[in-house]
Structure 1
Amino acid sequence: MIQVKPLQKVNPLDLEAERKYYAHAVATGTVDLERLAYLIANQSTVREADCYAVTLSLVHNIMDALEQGNIVRLDRLGSFQIGVNSMGVSTEKDLTANAVKKAHVNFRPDARLRKMLKNLKYSVSS
Structure 2
Amino acid sequence: MVNYSIVMRGNPMDADAAKKAYASAQYSEVMDINRFAEHIASHGCVYKRADIVAILTMAVDCMREQLLAGQKIQLGDLGDFSVGINSLGAESAAEYNPVVHVRKLNVNWSAGPRFRNLLEDAVFNLVATRKAARLVVKALKAGKTNVDLTGEEKEPENGEQA
Same structural fold, with TM-score higher than 0.5 when normalized by the shorter chain: yes
Q: Which protein is bigger by CA-based radius of gyration?
A: 2
Match of residue 83 from structure 2: 82
Q: Once the 2 structures are TM-superposed, how far is the Cα of residue 52 of structure 1 from its aligned partner?
A: 1.3
Query: SS at the partner of 1:112?
Result: coil
Alignment TM-score, normalising by the size of structure 2: 0.67
Provide the aligned C-alpha RMSD in A: 2.0
* In structure 2, distance between residues paired with 1:64 and 1:27: 30
The one-letter amino acid of 1:69's match is: G
Q: 1:113 to 1:14 in 2, by over 3 A?
A: same
CA 11–116 in structure 1, closer or farther in 2 if over 3 Å, else same: closer
Counterpart for residue 59 of structure 2: 58
- Secondary structure in 1 aligned to 2:24? strand
1:110 matched to which residue of 2? Answer: 112
2:74 corresponds in structure 1 to 73
Q: CA 1:65 to 1:3, structure 2 compared with 1: closer, same or farther past 3 Å?
A: same
Q: What amino acid does structure 2 have at the position aligned with 1:55? A: L
Query: The residue matched to 2:21 in structure 1 has which SS?
Result: strand
Partner of 2:18: 18
The residue identity in structure 2 corresponding to 1:101 is R
Give the number of the structure with larger relative contact order, counting CA–CA contacts within 8 Å between residues 6 or more apart.
1
In structure 1, the partner of 2:34 is 34
Alpha-carbon distance, 1:90 to partner? 4.4
| C-alpha distance 77-58 of structure 1, shift in aligned 2 (>3 A) | same
Q: What count of residue pairs does the alignment treat as equivalent?
A: 126
Q: 2:125 aligns with which of 116, 123, 126?
A: 123
| Identity fraction in percent | 28
User: 1:116 and 1:18, CA in 2 relative to 1: closer, same or farther beyond 3 A?
Assistant: closer
Instruction: After superposition, give the CA deviation of every residue in 1:10-31 in whole Å (9 maximum; x if it has no partner).
Output: 3222223322222110111122
Question: 1:85 offset after TM fit, Å?
Answer: 2.0
| SS of alignment partner, residue 122 of structure 2 | coil
Q: Distance in 2 between matches of 1:20 and 1:93?
A: 47
